[in-house]
Structure 1
Amino acid sequence: MTATPTATTGNTDPTDTPPDVSPALALKWRPTLSVPPPRAPAAEPVRWWPLGVALMGALGLAAFVWSEHGALPAVLLLLGTGLGFTLFHSRFGFTSAWRQFLAVGNGTGLRAHAVLLGTTATLFTLVLGTGTGLFGNEPAPSAGPIGIALFAGAFLFGIGMQLGGACASGTLFAVGSGQSAILITLFGFIVGSVIYSAAWPLVADLPAVPPVLLSDHVGWGGSWLVTVAALVALVVITRAVQNRRVPPPVGAPPSAEGLLRIVRGSWPLLVGALVLAVLGAAVLTVSGGAWGITSAFNLWGAKALQLVGLQPETWAFWSQPGQAEQLAGPVLQDKNSLTNIGIILGAAVAAGAAGTWKLHSGLSWKLVAAGLVGGVLMGIGARLAGGCNIGAYLAGIGSGSLHGWLWAVFALAGTWAGLRARTLFGLGVPKPGDSVC
C-alpha cells in the first residue's frame, strides 16, 4: 500500500506517520503543524511634510533644470530620483552584503549583486553593442586602468565602507531618508575627495597598465557570456559557503501589501536589483556614460572651497582640460551631481511616503569619528580607483571591464580589514541571522 501524505490540522500529532512507511522515509514525510506567517507590522503614517517638500523639490528642480539647461539634465535628475526611490524601498546594500558574507557567511546580498550585475551587463551589452544613445550621445563603456591606484583605492574604499556605515549610493539614500548620522560620512567623503585632488600630482603616475575590455577580444556577445558565467559561479560559491556556515535569515514581512507596497512597503532585494539595472542602463543611454557618484563629491568640495575664497582651479588636478571644464560649469549640468541630487530627493520621497522619514540626534563621538574617518577613506579610495561601488564595481563589470572585477576583489579585502577596524570605534559586527540590509 502506498502512503499519501494528507493535510494536517491543528489536532494532528506532528509525530504521526503512516504505519507502512520506513523510518528513513518518515523523516522526509513527517508533517509539521501549520504555523501562520508572521503578521506584517502596521505601516507608519505618511510623513506629509517631508513627502511634500521632497516631491515638490524633485519636480520643481527638474522643471528649473529643463528650462535653464535643457531636457537631458532634467531627465538625469528624474532618473536619479527613481534610483533613490528604489534604493530606499529595496534597502539594496553593498556595504552590508560584503560585511555579512565575510563576517557570518551570509551570501544573500552578494547573490542580489549577481542579479544586478548580470542584468546590467545584459542591458549594457544591448546599448553598447548597438551604439544606441539618446540626445546625440554615443554610449561608451566604463573601463579603467589596472595598477597600484586601483588596488589601493579599492582597498581603502572597502575599509571606509565598514567604518562609515554605507557605500557611495548608500550614503546618498540614507541622507535623503533623514539619517542625520550619515551626514558625517558624506562630509568625510567630500573631504577625502578634496584631499585626493590636492595631492593628485603625488599619485598621478603610479604604475598601471591600460584598461582591459572583454569586448575588444571576444566581442560583446562573448563579453556577456564570460560575465554571466562568472556571476553564476559567484552565486554557486556564496550558496555553498552559506549552507556550510549559517542558514539564511528570515526576513521581516513588508509593512504594506499589494500595490500599496510599491510606495509604502519594502521591496524584495531581487526586485530592487532589476529596477536599479534598468535605471542604470537608462542613464547610460541618455548621457553616454554609466551611472557614477563620487566624482561629483570632488566637484562639490572644490565649489565649496571657491565659495570661501580659495582657488582650487589653480591645482594641477583641476587644471586638466576635462576637470577645468567641469569645475567652470554649473553643478546642475554635471551628470553625476544631477543623479546624486536625484537620489537624495527620491529617497526622501520614499521615506516620507513610507512614514519613516525623521532626523536622528544624540550621536556618540565614536560614531562621529568612525563616520568621518570612513568617509575620508572612501573619498580618497574612490578617486584613486577611478570609481566606487557604482562607478567601478557596477559599471565596470557591467561593461565587461577587468578593472571592475579587480576592484571587487580588493574592496572585499578592505572589507575584511574594515570589519576588524570597527572594533577600534566600538562598532559591532554582524551575527548569524542579521539582516543583509
Structure 2
Amino acid sequence: MGPLPLFNYPAWVIGLFYGLLGIIAGIMGAKYTYCIVVATHQVMGLKYSKIYEIILTGIAVSALGVGILTAFHVVPYVDAYYFMPGAGWYTLLGSFIFGFGIMLGNGCMFGMLWKSGVGYVVNWFEIIGMIIGTVIFAYPIFDGLKLGKWWNTNEFFSIANGNPVNFIPYNFGSFSGFALLIGIIFAFVILLPALWMRKNRKEFEERNKGALYQSPYFIGTIFGLIMIGSFIFAAGHFFNYLGVTTPIGLFSEYLLRPFGINLASKGDPNWFSTVPVISAFTFFILMVILGAFIYASSTGTFDIKLPSRTTNRVAEIVIAFIGGIILAIGARIAQGCSVGGFWSGLTGLSIFGLIFTVGFIPGTIAGYYAYVNLSSWAASLKRNSNNITTNNKGSYSKTLVNLIFGIIFGLLLIGIAFELPSLNSDAASIIKSSVLVQYQNVLLGWGIFSILVSFLILSIRKFVLRR
C-alpha cells in the first residue's frame, strides 16, 4: 500500500512551513546550545548534561507522539514507515563513523547549523568538509559498497527502505494499541538516561527549582513537538520526520555547477542522481542557520568566533574539516544522522533507529577520545613553537559583521534560487517545473527576508537600544 497524505497543499506552503520550523529550531538551538557534541563532552567530563536531558526528552516526547497518533489512526501506519530508511549492516557501520566524525567536527548536524549561524568558524569548515565528504561518498563508496542495492534489499540483516517490518508496532499484528504501547516503552527507555543525568546534576548543582520554562524537560518537549509537527504536516508526502544530511550534501551541486561540473548527471549514476536538487528540508537547514543568526544578532552575541587562543587554531579548524568529511561519509552510508537517524529513527519507532543508536553512541565516545588527544597534541605543538596568534576581537565592528553575514547569507539563498532551473534540467531525479518555480520564489523570499532582517536588527541595536 502506498502513502496516504493527510493534507493537500501547494509547494510554496512546504517552503514556508519548514522555513518557519527551521527559524524556531535555530533560535532555540542557539539559546539552549542544543548539540550532541557539547552534550557528550559534558557527560564524559561531569557524568551529566542538561543539554542531553533536553535532547533525550525531545526524542522521548516525539516517539510517544508517533505512538499515540498512529494508535488512534490520526496518521496511518503506512505514513510512519513508508519513507523511513531501511536498516542493516550499513546502518551500524555508518552510524559509528558518523558519531566519530561529529566529535572531530565539533558539531552534530543540528549543532553544526546553529553554530554556523552564530559565527563559529570551525563549523563553517565542518560544513565544507561535509560537502566534500558527500562527493567522495557519491562516487567510490556508494558504488563500491553497492549501497543502492542494499538499501532496497530484504535479506539477512537488511531491511529495505520503506519496509513495514522496520516499523516495530507493525510486527505485532493489526491491533493498533501496540503502537501506543511501543511508543510508551520507547519514551520510558529513552528518558531513563536523562533521569540518571538529572540525578547526577542535582548532586553537583544547587537545589533550586527555577522557572518551568527553564527546565530541560520543558525545553525538550518543545523540540519534541517540532518533530511531531513535521510528522503530521508531511505525512504521506515525503520523509515526514526531520533530516538534514541530504540537503547539506546537495550544496556540492550548487557550488560546482557554475564551473560546469554536473554531479547529478543522468549518464553517470551516483548518489546525487538518486535525489532531487532541492527538498523540503533544504528550507529547514537554511532557516536553522538564519534563526540562530537572528538570535545571536538580537542578543549581541554574534561574532566571528575563532578557536580559543590557548589552542592551536589552525589545527582545530583542520580537525573540524576532516571531521566534516568523515561524518558525511558515515551519514550517507547509514542513511541518517543525529537528526535523520538518531532522533527521527527512534521517533519513528523503527528498527533503523535502534540499530543507528547502537552504532552512533559508541562512535561519539570513540570520537570524543580521538578529539581530546588530537586537540591536546596540536596544542602542545603550538606551545613549543613561536606561533603568533591574532586577537579576533576589536579589529572590526561587530554590527558591521552582523550586517555583512546577513547580506551574504541572503544572497546565497537568492543565488541557489536562480541556479535551480539549470540544475534540475540535467538532474536524473527531476522536479516538476510548477513545483520548482514555487520553491524558487520561496527561496527568493527568504533571501530578501535575511537581508532585510539584518538591516532591521542593525538599526534597532544602533539607534534604539543605544539611546
Same fold, TM-score > 0.5, yes or no: yes
Q: Does 1:281 align with 2:235?
A: no
Gaps of 5+ in 2: 1-9, 151-155, 378-467
For 2:167, give the aligned amino acid: L
**Within 2, Cα distance between the matches of 1:251 and 1:358?**
34
Which deviations, in whole Å up to 9, do the C-alpha atoms of 1:220-272 show, x marking residues without a partner?
Answer: 54234334334434544565588689944569999xx99xxx9xxxx543233
**Within 2, Cα distance between the matches of 1:287 and 1:339?**
13
Is the contact made by 1:145 and 1:403 (CA closer than 8 Å) also made in structure 2?
A: yes
Structure 1 residues 418 and 129 mapped into 2: Cα distance closer, same or farther (>3 Å)?
Answer: same
For 1:91, give the aligned amino acid: T
Bigger CA drift: 113-122 or 168-177?
113-122
Question: Deviation of residue 108 (structure 1)?
Answer: 4.3
Is the contact made by 1:125 and 1:220 (CA closer than 8 Å) also made in structure 2?
A: no
Structure 1 residues 305 and 129 mapped into 2: Cα distance closer, same or farther (>3 Å)?
Answer: farther
- Partner of residue 188, structure 1: 129
Count of aligned positions? 340
**Within 2, Cα distance between the matches of 1:230 and 1:319?**
34
What root-mean-square deviation, in Å, do the aligned CA atoms of Structure 1 and Structure 2 show? Answer: 3.2
Pick the aligned partner of 1:402 from 339, 351, 362.
351
Q: Give the structure-2-normalised TM-score.
A: 0.65
Is the contact made by 2:37 and 2:103 (CA closer than 8 Å) also made in structure 1?
A: yes
- Partner of residue 232, structure 1: 188
**Within 2, Cα distance between the matches of 1:356 and 1:222?**
47
The percent of aligned pairs where both chains have the same amino acid is 18
Alignment of 1:342-381 (within 5 A): 342-361=287-306, 364-381=313-330
Structure 1 residues 426 and 297 mapped into 2: Cα distance closer, same or farther (>3 Å)?
Answer: same
User: Equivalent residue of 1:313, what SS?
Assistant: coil
For 2:169, give the aligned amino acid: S
**Within 2, Cα distance between the matches of 1:413 and 1:160?**
12
Which deviations, in whole Å up to 9, do the C-alpha atoms of 1:172-199 show, x marking residues without a partner?
Answer: 0111112222101111122112211123
- Partner of residue 123, structure 1: 65
For 1:350, give the aligned amino acid: Y
**Within 2, Cα distance between the matches of 1:370 and 1:319?**
26
For 1:85, give the aligned amino acid: I
**Within 2, Cα distance between the matches of 1:252 and 1:171?**
32
- Partner of residue 39, structure 1: none
Q: Does 1:216 align with 2:139?
A: no
Structure 1 residues 311 and 160 mapped into 2: Cα distance closer, same or farther (>3 Å)?
Answer: same
- Partner of residue 154, structure 1: 95
Structure 1 residues 164 and 94 mapped into 2: Cα distance closer, same or farther (>3 Å)?
Answer: same
Structure 1 residues 391 and 234 mapped into 2: Cα distance closer, same or farther (>3 Å)?
Answer: closer
**Within 2, Cα distance between the matches of 1:172 and 1:71?**
23
For 1:215, give the aligned amino acid: P
Which deviations, in whole Å up to 9, do the C-alpha atoms of 1:94-127 show, x marking residues without a partner?
Answer: 2222343345422544433332112101322344
- Partner of residue 301, structure 1: 252
Gaps of 5+ in 1: 1-67, 429-437
Question: Deviation of residue 362 (structure 1)?
Answer: 6.6
**Within 2, Cα distance between the matches of 1:392 and 1:184?**
23
Q: Give the structure-1-normalised TM-score.
A: 0.69
Is the contact made by 2:127 and 2:324 (CA closer than 8 Å) also made in structure 1?
A: yes
For 1:347, give the aligned amino acid: A
Question: Deviation of residue 92 (structure 1)?
Answer: 1.9
Question: Deviation of residue 305 (structure 1)?
Answer: 2.2
Which of structures 1 and 2 has the larger relative contact order (alpha carbons within 8 angstroms, sep 6+)?
1
Structure 1 residues 248 and 239 mapped into 2: Cα distance closer, same or farther (>3 Å)?
Answer: farther
Structure 1 residues 251 and 424 mapped into 2: Cα distance closer, same or farther (>3 Å)?
Answer: farther
Structure 1 residues 106 and 225 mapped into 2: Cα distance closer, same or farther (>3 Å)?
Answer: same
**Within 2, Cα distance between the matches of 1:95 and 1:251?**
26
